[in-house]
Amino acid sequence: MLFFFLGLFSITQATEELYDYPIIGIDLGTTYSSVCIFRDDKVEIIPNEYGFKSTPTVVAFNGTFLIGEEAKEQGIINPQNTFYDIKRLTGRTYLDPNVNRVKKGLPFTIMQENDKICIKVSQPRNKSNKIFNIDYIQAKVLTKLKNIASSYLGVPVKNAVISIPIGFNDIQKQATIDIAEIAGLKVVRLISEPNAAVIAYGRDYVTEKTNIFVFDFGGGTLDIAATIVTKQKFEEIDNSSEMNLGGEDFDFNVVKYLVDQIYNSTGMNLTDHKKANQALKIEAQKAKETLSSQEIAHIRISNLIEGYDFQYNLTREKFEEVNQDLFDRVISTINSTFIVSETQIEDIDEVILVGGSSRIPKVQEIVEKRFVHSKIIKDRIQDELVCIGAAILANSLTKQLEKQYRFVEIKRTAISYGVETDKEDMNIIIPRLSRYPLVLSRFYTTIEDYQTGISINIFQGESEFTEYNEKIGNFKLSGIQKATKGVPEIEITFALNQNGMLTATAFDLNTKSSSQLAIQIKNKKRLTQEDIDNLRKENEQEEKLDREKIQTISKLKKYHMQFLNDIKKSKYKYALGESQLYEIKEILNTSSKWLEDNRYKLQTTTQDFQNELQNLKNSLDKILNRQQLRDSNQDL
């Protein structure tokens, strides 16, 4: 144990490493993710293969992996193997109370293996279940975004700036970096989501010094930051975060309400019915979006369960009543931002609403009532604003950039860091809202005579007692001066890097003995470098197999479409009789139905799709050859 001994000094570091172009900006969201690139003096939001600006943060497994739109599309028929909301589990341990809360609302199985959170995939009876680390599943989304960008730019993409919630701790930040490495990406910088949003907004709309309050309410988190903005300088002055509050929670409450309504009217309890709950969740999300502009959302689900069609008219008033607890938490999060801050609400010039959940009318009403003296910017709510800001930051870190395009980003910590003393008090070394990157030190001494070693426990939090804070690391210093208590002088130094990640060092000023702990890589619950390397290789192999299956399915679909178009044109229309055209249409319809029935099934392999394509070609060629032979005989 330690005893606080002497003063405090600080050193601020501001070195900046630059990287080769291109560096992409990524918003890895709870429900949707996007990727951007800065070029030709503007940010381009890179569309996915469907032309959409954002991609669902959803991964499914059906023998191979589906990511994004395709994964979301098959969610109702394969809920137990469709994975979403994984970001809420990032960097957490299985016994974390938040994990237990999150997994209750998910249709797939969350389990623990080797002290790490994993997902169990449900397989057909003749196959053993597969287990995937959650970081590996999240890496699938980043791999998808990387490939979208590489295809769009025509060059391999290796570097990225990734946005994260303000409330992410060191372990969660390192988890994000690990996930990117599995996906084949180097994270050159992490940036908080509100900071990314304010950079994007400030570049386009701010011409003079302005106090901006970012209200970033997305699918999984509510992040808030007050920032002083000029054209090329962004200084965060305060922040707050609610890590378990987002659009998904509104959907969950509505689903729970609808399940209760069904039980009250029919006596059917659908609480544990995965497919029904997945269908209700999709409709709850649509209803939430509808109620942002209308007073009533009409929910209609045919065959919710066998023989039961569900209908319900959800009013905006009822939606607000069902989610009142969440609105109360929004108010509390806003208020908490200003409790210990020198900034007052009256000092805020503009409030930017960011994220899909900011479109909820009640949320906008809450913000307008709290910031009566501020200009509320709600006509520019853009889901990709965070991604745009990440791309602007990425551009400023490239070697090729001209100096005048660089800007200064001054960041502050979202939480305090300290060590535990002999009385289990929290002795803060880096206070909340400290600017970083920085290095801060305090001096300590021993509490027992002739002590030769000390154990140093590191915590984060705001309570004066460590019992109520979060322990994030522990390390030992041995070989200290053998003397009576109070004589040795031990310097403990905390260093926060550009990503806000902590390294702790202990140093005996007399014996020169030292010890160091990099919090982000020493946590036993995290992946080792060997784990990351193995998962990266596995991801590359899986990606190759997935690509082959997807390409075969695509070939089969194109063949269907091409042949259907051909028989409508003169190429076959006049060359074939009615009976032959009917036969071809029947074969194509049968094959199309087979594809629809099998494309998402676990047991359908790439070879099965290849066989179906070849069989289809053979069947159609047989009809065409038969007709050709008949035409030849007639010519004779």
Q: What is the pLDDT of residues 151-209, one digit of tens each?
A: 899 899 999 999 999 888 888 898 999 999 999 999 999 999 998 999 898 887 887 88
Task: Give Cβ neighbours of residue 634 (< 8 Å, ≥ 6 apart).
Answer: none
> In the chain, helix, strand, coil percent, each to 5?
40, 30, 30
Q: What is the pLDDT of residues 357-381, one digit of tens each?
A: 999 999 999 999 999 999 998 876 6
pLDDT, residue 432, reads 82
Q: Residue 311 above 60 pLDDT? A: yes
Q: What is the pLDDT of residues 387-404, one digit of tens each?
A: 999 999 999 888 766 444
pLDDT, residue 181, reads 95
The single-letter DSSP state of residue 292 is: T
pLDDT, residue 628, reads 56
Tell me if 234 sits within 8 A of 408, measured CB to CB. Answer: yes
129: confidence class by pLDDT, cuts 50, 70, 90: confident
481: confidence class by pLDDT, cuts 50, 70, 90: confident
Return d(Cα 226, Cα 192) in angstroms, integer. 12
237: confidence class by pLDDT, cuts 50, 70, 90: confident
Q: At 346, which amino acid appears?
A: E
Which residue intervals of the chain bear CATH 1.20.1270.10? 535-635
pLDDT, residue 483, reads 86
Across 175-184, 238-247, 341-350, the highest mean pLDDT is recorded for 175-184
What CATH number has the domain spanning 535-635?
1.20.1270.10
Return d(Cα 429, Cα 420) in angstroms, integer. 11
Task: Give Cβ neighbours of residue 331 (< 8 Å, ≥ 6 apart).
Answer: 366, 370
Q: Which CATH number fits domain 247-325: 3.30.750.200, 3.40.50.300, 3.90.640.10, 3.40.1280.10?
A: 3.90.640.10
Q: Residue 412 above 90 pLDDT? A: no
Burial class (CB in 10 A: 0-12, 13-18, 19+), 407: middle
Q: Residue 59 above 90 pLDDT? A: yes
Task: Give the pairing of strands 109-113 and 116-121.
Answer: antiparallel
Tell me the torsion sign for CA atoms 604, 605, 607, 613.
positive
Burial class (CB in 10 A: 0-12, 13-18, 19+), 134: buried
Which residue intervals of the chain bear CATH 2.60.34.10? 3-15+412-522
pLDDT, residue 600, reads 62
Return d(Cα 281, Cα 253) in angstroms, integer. 10
Tell me if 27 sits within 8 A of 450, measured CB to CB. Answer: no
pLDDT, residue 25, reads 97
522: confidence class by pLDDT, cuts 50, 70, 90: very low
pLDDT, residue 250, reads 97
Q: What percent of the chain has pLDDT over 90?
A: 43
Return d(Cα 280, Cα 259) in angstroms, integer. 8
Q: Which CATH number fits domain 3-15+412-522: 3.30.930.10, 3.40.50.720, 2.60.34.10, 2.60.40.680?
A: 2.60.34.10
pLDDT, residue 127, reads 67
pLDDT, residue 471, reads 86
**Phi, psi angles (nearest 5°) of residue 124:** -60, 160
Between the two ends of the chain, the Cα-to-Cα distance in Å is: 105
Average pLDDT of the residues of the chain: 84
Burial class (CB in 10 A: 0-12, 13-18, 19+), 114: exposed
Locus of tokens 């994964």: 71
In this prediction the pTM is: 0.75
pLDDT, residue 636, reads 31
Q: Residue 113 above 60 pLDDT? A: yes
- Tokens read off for 188: 């050159």
pLDDT, residue 351, reads 94
4: confidence class by pLDDT, cuts 50, 70, 90: very low
9: confidence class by pLDDT, cuts 50, 70, 90: very low
Return d(Cα 502, Cα 516) in angstroms, integer. 11
Least confident of 80-84, 534-538, 561-565: 534-538
Q: How confident is the model over 287-316, as a mean pLDDT?
A: 94
pLDDT, residue 545, reads 62
Which residue intervals of the chain bear CATH 3.90.640.10? 247-325
Q: Which residues are catalytic?
A: 27, 87, 193, 216
222: confidence class by pLDDT, cuts 50, 70, 90: very high
Least confident of 2-11, 182-191, 486-495, 617-626: 2-11
Across 81-85, 557-561, 594-598, the highest mean pLDDT is recorded for 81-85
Q: Which CATH number fits domain 23-245+326-400: 3.50.50.60, 3.30.365.10, 3.90.1150.10, 3.30.420.40?
A: 3.30.420.40
Return d(Cα 168, Cα 91) in angstroms, integer. 9
pLDDT, residue 319, reads 98
Q: What is the pLDDT of residues 431-464, one digit of tens each?
A: 987 888 899 999 998 888 888 888 899 998 888 8
- Tokens read off for 360: 């909820």
Return d(Cα 212, Cα 627) in angstroms, integer. 74
Q: What is the pLDDT of residues 252-295, one digit of tens each?
A: 999 999 999 999 999 999 998 988 999 999 999 999 999 999 99
pLDDT, residue 575, reads 63
633: confidence class by pLDDT, cuts 50, 70, 90: very low
